[in-house]
Amino acid sequence: MKNYSLPGFTINLTTLFEFSKTLQNFNRLPLFESAHNALNAKFENQTLGFFDWPERIPAEEIATLQQISKELRARYEGLLVCGIGGSHLGAACVLEALRSEKEENEFPIFWLNNVDRWAIERAKSFVSRRKVATLIISKSGNTTETLSGFFHLSRFLDPKGTVLITDPNSGELRRWVNTHSYLNLPVPPNIGGRFSVLTSVGLLPMALGGIDILALLDGAKQLRRHLATLNLLDNPAYQYALASFWWDKKENRSIHYLMPYLSQLKLLTDWFVQLWAESLGKKNTEGMSVGPTFVGSLGTRDQHSLLQLFKEGPQNKLIGFIDLKENSESLKVGTSPVPSPQFEYLCHHSFEEINSKALQATAKSLNSAGTPTYQIVFEELTCRTLGAFLLFQELACAISGEFYQVNAFNQPGVEEAKRLLRESL
Stretch 313-332: mean pLDDT:
90
**Residue 329 pLDDT more than 80?**
no
At 138, is the pLDDT very low, low, confident or very high (cuts 50, 70, 90)? very high
At residue 245, the 3 state secondary structure works out as: helix
The amino acid occupying position 213 is: I
**Hey, how many other C-beta atoms are within 10 angstroms of the C-beta on 425?**
7
**Residue 254 pLDDT more than 80?**
yes
At 318, is the pLDDT very low, low, confident or very high (cuts 50, 70, 90)? very high
**Residue 96 pLDDT more than 90?**
yes
Clarify whether 418 is annotated catalytic. Answer: yes
Stretch 147-164: mean pLDDT:
95
**Residue 317 pLDDT more than 80?**
yes
DSSP bridge pairs for 259: 321
At residue 254, the 3 state secondary structure works out as: coil
217 in Cβ contact with 82 (< 8 Å): no
pLDDT tens digits, residue range 282-309? 999 999 999 999 999 999 999 899 999 9
Q: How far apart are CA 372 and CA 189, in angstroms?
A: 38
At 326, is the pLDDT very low, low, confident or very high (cuts 50, 70, 90)? confident
Residue 375: what pLDDT?
98
Are β-strands 162-166 and 133-137 bridged in parallel, bridged antiparallel, or unpaired?
parallel
Q: How far apart are CA 87 and CA 70, in angstroms?
A: 21
Q: How far apart are CA 199 and CA 219, in angstroms?
A: 14
Q: How far apart are CA 311 and CA 290, in angstroms?
A: 25
Clarify whether 226 is annotated catalytic. Answer: no
The per-residue b/e assignment along 383-416, b for 16 or more CB within 10 angstroms, e otherwise, is bbbbbbbbbbbbbbbbbbbbbbebebbebeeeee
Residue 356: what pLDDT?
93
Say which CATH class 3-43+217-413 falls into. alpha beta
Residue 345: what pLDDT?
85
385 in Cβ contact with 327 (< 8 Å): no
At 234, is the pLDDT very low, low, confident or very high (cuts 50, 70, 90)? very high
Q: How far apart are CA 71 and CA 82, in angstroms?
A: 19
Looking at domain 53-211, what is its CATH homologous superfamily?
A: Glucose-6-phosphate isomerase like protein; domain 1 (3.40.50.10490)
Residue 140: what pLDDT?
87
Backbone dihedral region of 334: left (phi > 0), alpha (psi from -120 to 50 degrees) or beta? left
Distance of CA 134 to the CA centre of its chain: 22
Residue 341: what pLDDT?
85
DSSP 100-154: -HHHHHHS-EEEE---SHHHHHHHHHHHHSS--EEEEE-SSS--HHHHHHHHHHG
The residues near 255 (Cβ < 8 Å, ≥ 6 apart) are 292, 293, 295, 316, 317, 318
pLDDT above 90 coverage of the chain, percent: 84
pLDDT tens digits, residue range 169-220? 988 899 999 898 899 999 999 999 999 999 999 999 999 999 999 999 999 9
Catalytic position from the list 304, 332, 357, 364: 304
pLDDT tens digits, residue range 98-128? 999 999 999 999 999 998 999 999 999 999 9
Min mean pLDDT across 91-100, 149-158, 271-280, 321-330 is at 321-330
**Residue 1 pLDDT more than 90?**
no
> Which helix (H) or strand (E) element contains residue 80?
strand 79-82
**Hey, how many other C-beta atoms are within 10 angstroms of the C-beta on 138?**
27
Clarify whether 278 is annotated catalytic. Answer: yes
Stretch 415-420: mean pLDDT:
86
DSSP bridge pairs for 112: 82
Phi, then psi, of 259 in degrees rounded to 5: -130, 90
> pTM for this structure?
0.96
Stretch 321-340: mean pLDDT:
86
Catalytic position from the list 145, 278, 352, 394: 278
Residue 421: what pLDDT?
86
Residue 327: what pLDDT?
79
pLDDT above 70 coverage of the chain, percent: 100
Residue 414: what pLDDT?
85
**Residue 409 pLDDT more than 90?**
yes
Catalytic position from the list 152, 226, 249, 418: 418
Mean predicted lDDT score pLDDT of the chain: 95
Residue 338: what pLDDT?
86
Q: How far apart are CA 138 and CA 147, in angstroms?
A: 9
Q: How far apart are CA 220 and CA 199, in angstroms?
A: 12
What residue ranges of the chain are covered by domains with CATH 3.40.50.10490? Answer: 3-43+217-413, 53-211
**Residue 328 pLDDT more than 80?**
no
